[in-house]
Chains A and B, each alone.
Chain A
Amino acid sequence: MGPKKVARSASSDDPEELARVPLQAVLLADSFATKFRPITLERPKVLLPLVNVPMIEYTLAWLESVGVEEVFVFCCAHSNQVKDYLNKSQWTKPPSSFSFSVSTIESHDAISAGDALRVIYNRSVIRGDFILVSGDTVSNMDLTQALEEHKDRRKKDPLAVMTMVIKHAKPSSTTLQTRLGTDEIIMGIHPETKELLYYEDKADHLQRVILLDKTLLMENPALRLHNDKQDCFIDICSPEVLSLFTDNFDYQHLRRHFVKGLLVDDIMGYKIFTYETHASYAARVENFRSYDTISKDIIQRWTYPFVPDVQYLGIGYQAKLERQGIYRAPDVILSRSAHVGAFSFVGNGTTIGDHSHISTSVIGQRCVIGKNVVIESSYIWDNVTIEDGCKLSHALVCDGVHLRAGVILESGVILSFKVEVGQKLVIPAYSKVSVLPQPCKQDSDEELEYADATSGVIESPSITSVANARNQDLLSDMLDVPGSDANKVGISGVGYIWSVSEAEHDEEWRFSIAPIPKEKLEKFSHSAHDDNDEVNHDESSIPASGELIPDSDGTDFDGGVGEDYRDSADFENEVEATFRRALAGVDVQNVILEISSLRLSYNMSHADCAGALFYAIMKSASDISYSNNTELSANTKMEINKWKNLLKNYIKSQDEEIEVIMKFEEICLETIREFRPLFTDVSMWLAQTSIASG
């Protein structure tokens, strides 16, 4: 219904396009996540520089290279910045856009990818299959084959609405993380058709087993389960995808809701397929760790041709590749005694002072770096001033930051825009510093990136004044104090250290730029091992493979039999225990009450109660010492006499009487063989005491 409407409206606009639908792409210029906070409070994620080039450039350049002719950039948070950027960029200028047009779609109330697609649907701009990517994708893959496969499949099966691009990436077995810092994803794929049958991200690590629904294997004789694939978040979609989002207005997340929804709820039988790319590069900047990894990949030229020394991406100048993977912009002032190590990038107009040491880092434009500065594995953006003697390792420093002399950034530190750090301060590991105060409202489930002027987050009075006021406090306590949202960054410093909640703090190291510390790894492998042990325990206690099911000759057996049997045995034991309490002097009325409640909880009949009780009585009778059968008989009769009132509570009809006799027969045959010779004798007695009418 939906797509037809789209097609009609499109055809009325542009009849000659009917023959050939241009390849379209939807680029989501908003990640709808908060992973890059606090930076994204001030600048949208897609404009953050990745090796000195805004991320969106990589995505647009790739889209152009795969033959996309029309790109719709959906912007939400900071939409003005994105629009401004695009207007200034080469993409919207006439000469470059001979067959490549970029237009923006703006919405301010979209809070998720689902909302975004619904907005796009309402605009009716998508006419055929389209590529759905987010603006933080870095790839050099050739989509031709994937597109062809998608189209062929669509011809045969109109229900194949989406093709997901996946790539081999094995997560570490200790941290269960890929090198991009994403959690392991478990996918079930049909071995021949490559249909996606199962998808689980955000895997719960405590849950050590994957549950595959039984219908899954009933419908498919074979299924390949992967945890060594990475979701590239490049999807080839049919127009139905958009209408599906509109029909299911509660879908927010592309994967968690849409993919799972299609797989689990089986909506209209729509299917999702996968396409695996082998040699080419495809990744998405999802968090700081992937930012780090992808930056290094770009510097090491895995993303060729999208590398800094090829004239590309509106950078304005061409960096020169020197030995050891060092890229240097043309206009760098480097002190003779400064040293730039392998796999580094130094941007235009940057000055580096004497005896400074830089390794595997990216430094932006117009930075001023003082003397004796050590920078390793860090990302310094534009216009940063680093005074003498600073030490940075595994840090991310945004535009306009000023580090005064002697500042030490421990690993994993994020300094957002225009932060100033006072002299000789040590910023503890994994801190995030911003000139904006931390929003006190913690979005719980759907993380939104929503710091546009429309939201009330940044309504604090003049930031610097607040910061300066606070700066008059002492500078001793630099550690995060939970509860206080502002911490000082030293004398003449500007900025707040964002406090992280306990739970988040635990996770911080997982997604940080810094490599995972050794002790964490050890702890992790230790706990993983414990997990295993635990699993082992509960697995052996739960008969996961039907260990309790009797199976005489290896043929199939119903599990119900075993369970039933166990229940009734339990019941008998309970009744016996209750009866023993009666022997020990508990009031008979209470015993009756207890047995009645047992009967209800085990869902037994009166006859079962009578049988179990009778068994208990006989057992107690046999427990009394005796020397010969007559004595035993006498004991038994005495016991029966003693408890016949109790027993009669449960003997209401002939059924129960029969049950008692049967039980007695069973006792004689199986459990207490001593009664064998007394069978007739005791049966007579039962008849006499009118327990059994004979």
Chain B
Amino acid sequence: MDFQVVVLAGGASKNLTPLVSEEIPKALLPVANRPVLSYVLELLESSNLKDLIVVVEGSDAALRVGGWISGAYVDRLHVEVAAVPEDIGTAGALRAVAHHLTASDILVVSGDLVTDVPPGVVAATHRRHGAVVTALLCDTPISGISETGSKDKAKKLGRYNIVGLDPTRQFLLLIASGAEVEKDTRVQKSILGAVGQMEIRADLMDAHMYALKRSVLQEVLDQKDSFHSIRQDVLPYLVRSQLRSEVAKIEEGWNTTITSKTNLIWLSQHREIAPSAFHNGHELDANGSLSAQSTHKCCAYIAGKNKYCARLNSIQAFIDINRDVVGEASHLSGYSFSAQNNVVHPSAELGSKTTVGPQCMLAEGSKLGDKCSVKRSVIGRHCRIGSNVKIVNSVVMNHVTIEDGCLVQGSIICSNVHLQERCVLKDCQVAALWKVPQSWRLKFKLSYLLSGFV
């Protein structure tokens, strides 16, 4: 398949402080004790997309990501790691690697995507319609349900995008993202006029996997310097301008406008009935060359309800994904689960009367003392956990020491943290290397722990 893949792995994302740091950029955050990036890479590998460019923000982070990839995928994937400055934005990142892009179509994937939708399907949809851009849309993940969480409430939480689709649900006619979602939605009448009816959905999420036509992508990136993000600038721009593509400026005057107009009418008549017919005729109109093109197509591939699709872009998402990957979406983790529906590494040591419940993971070399209880949590490598410790709905990374009598609930404990005796942490995130003194009780929803707290 003549697709080049760009994986945007991000850097030290601000949204994920304090989980990310110089040592652990976003791409290497553990999801079920594997770096999150590995999920995307293995997914791509399974679709036989092996020619990858991984773009990382910040050169230190790039070195680390590169080091990890070359260690893990040395003979499996052909990966180039490119470092770009921080805060360059996704569009900027693509600009920076644009000269490496040679294939006719580019697949852009966010490095924080955890999904089982094969990228090949998106690529195939893209090719079938000859689209300029094809975006993967998935159901909005239901976040933050714990054992008692009511589903109705959780459903209202997630509104990521507002998406307009044609009646066949193949064409993307409107997309609003970010802050715009909360504003009034603006629908272009010309696009509505062309299709007749448009389905507007607020329950779909843009999963950040795009197939893009390289020539168009490069033109847009060149022409629009202000474009910062693919999701917020490039994609909405392409969708907005699909009936009057500015991607290729027509400067032949009246005659061409007539043809473009007839093209539009033609499109309006045919799009509804036979989207694929519209594709063929469109090619005729365009004479096969992009410069004569006056409309372009933006397509969407909607992942089925049974597919898992989530992005690790917030702390809540981090907890959710970790829970799901060892829980309901366990096929993603690549581990084989025991009869108790959990994964306990053979080298892990459990004290007497210690229970590890279902949907848990205990990585190699970790030791648990007596009378511990672990429920729906992921515990990393070489952790030392004392006696009478309760860990519920939490993620504990590597080399963490938890002393006796601690309670950890709904929290994220980063690597090398030391929790002294009888700490109680609820809904906390503890950054790497911290030492939490004896008997601390933290019940607040702290987004991060700052200096001054040792």
Contacts and interface: CB of A to CB of B under 8 A. Distances in A.
Contact of B200 (A223, A229, A528, A547): A223
Contacts of B240: 539, 544-545
B185 A551 contact: no
Contacts of A549: 178-179, 228-229, 232
B257 A526 contact: yes
B119 interface: no
Contacts of A176: 193
Contact of A546 (B10, B86, B180, B314): B180
Q: How large is the interface on A (under 10, 10 to 19, 20 to 34, 35 or more residues)?
A: 35 or more
A183 B193 CA distance: 12
A550 B87 contact: yes
Given A212-B184, A227-B193, A554 B228 contact: no
B443 to A, nearest CB: 27
A535 interface: yes
B193 A173 contact: yes
A202 to B, nearest CB: 14
Interface stretch (B122-130, B201-209, B446-454): B201-209
Contacts of B264: 173
Interface stretch (B11-19, B281-289, B357-365, B403-411): B11-19
7 smallest CB-CB distances across A and B, nearest first, come from: A228-B196, A545-B236, A221-B203, A551-B229, A212-B185, A553-B10, A210-B187
Interface string A510-530: 000000000000000110110
Contacts of B179: 546, 549, 556-559
Given A173-B193, A551-B232, 20 more contacts: A176-B193, A222-B202, A225-B199, A225-B200, A228-B197, A529-B257, A544-B180, A545-B180, A545-B236, A547-B226, A548-B228, A549-B179, A550-B228, A551-B89, A551-B228, A551-B229, A552-B86, A553-B15, A554-B229, A555-B314
A339 interface: no
B370 interface: no
B233 A545 contact: yes
Contact of A211 (B182, B186, B202, B231): B186
A554 B176 contact: no
Contacts of B237: 545, 547
Interface in B205-232: 208, 226-232
B190 interface: yes
Contacts of B26: 553
B429 interface: no
A211 B184 CA distance: 6
Interface in B296-317: 313-314
Nearest to A203: B189
Contacts of A694: none
Majority DSSP secondary structure for residues of B touching A: mixed
Contacts of A533: 244
Contacts of B230: 554
A491 interface: no
Contacts of A553: 8, 10-11, 13, 15, 26, 57, 90, 112, 313
A1 to B, nearest CB: 33
Nearest to A558: B179
Contacts of A557: 178-179
B245 to A, nearest CB: 10
A208 B189 contact: yes
B261 interface: yes
Nearest to B185: A212
Contacts of A347: none
27 contacts: A173-B194, A184-B193, A188-B200, A208-B188, A211-B187, A212-B187, A214-B182, A218-B159, A223-B200, A224-B199, A225-B187, A225-B200, A533-B244, A536-B244, A539-B240, A545-B233, A545-B236, A547-B237, A548-B226, A549-B232, A551-B231, A553-B8, A553-B11, A553-B26, A554-B8, A554-B231, A556-B160
A552 B202 contact: no
B162 interface: yes
B244 A552 contact: no
A590 interface: no
B86 to A, nearest CB: 7
A556 B260 CA distance: 37
Contacts of B420: none
A650 B254 CA distance: 59
Interface of A: 170-171, 173-174, 176, 184, 186, 188, 191, 203, 207-214, 216-218, 220-229, 525-526, 528-529, 532-533, 535-536, 539, 544-559
B246 interface: yes
Contacts of B110: 554
A529 B178 contact: no
Nearest to B244: A532
B221 to A, nearest CB: 13
A227 to B, nearest CB: 5
B265 interface: yes
B235 to A, nearest CB: 8
A209 B186 contact: yes
B31 to A, nearest CB: 17
B377 interface: no
A546 B188 contact: no
A551 B178 contact: yes
B401 to A, nearest CB: 31
Scoring B198, B226, B258, B260 by chain A CB atoms within 10 A of each residue's CB, the highest score goes to B198
Contacts of B314: 555
A558 B183 CA distance: 12
A213 B184 contact: yes
Contacts of B416: none
Contacts of B178: 545-546, 549, 551, 556-557, 559
Scoring B10, B26, B192 by chain A CB atoms within 10 A of each residue's CB, the highest score goes to B192
